[in-house]
């Protein structure tokens, strides 16, 4: 599983490593990139941007629901501790 820093392709901000799991989305704009088949493997060739479209309750936390802007697949990722909570609330209100 890879946990690596990156520059967000949506908002352009530098995103640091998560250090407790594989970093899979930007904590600022919440966009992700369609790079994994299994979490952290970076084996998906699509490489489209994953747009956050909704938030769902998951056990004692939440998941961000994504739709790939390139291939249309739906994906879900657990929120990270440093995610922008205002952005999470904004997305949940739009859905």
How does pLDDT run across 59-70, given as a tens digit for each residue?
A: 999 999 999 999
Helix (H, G, I), strand (E, B) or coil at 88: helix
95 pLDDT above the threshold of 70: no
User: Residue 74: how many CA atoms within 13 Å on its side-chain side?
Assistant: 6
Determine the pLDDT at residue 1.
Answer: 59
Determine the pLDDT at residue 51.
Answer: 98
**DSSP 8-class letter at 46:** -
């Amino acid at each position: 599983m890879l946990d690596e820093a990156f520059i967000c392709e949506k908002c352009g901000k530098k995103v640091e490593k998560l250090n407790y799991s594989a970093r899979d989305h930007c904590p600022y704009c919440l966009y992700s990139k369609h790079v994994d088949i299994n979490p952290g493997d970076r084996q998906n060739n699509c490489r489209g941007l994953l747009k956050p479209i909704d938030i769902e309750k998951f056990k004692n936390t939440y998941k961000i629901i994504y739709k790939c802007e390139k291939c249309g697949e739906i994906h879900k990722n657990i929120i990270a501790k440093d995610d922008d909570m205002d952005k999470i609330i904004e997305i949940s209100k739009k859905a």
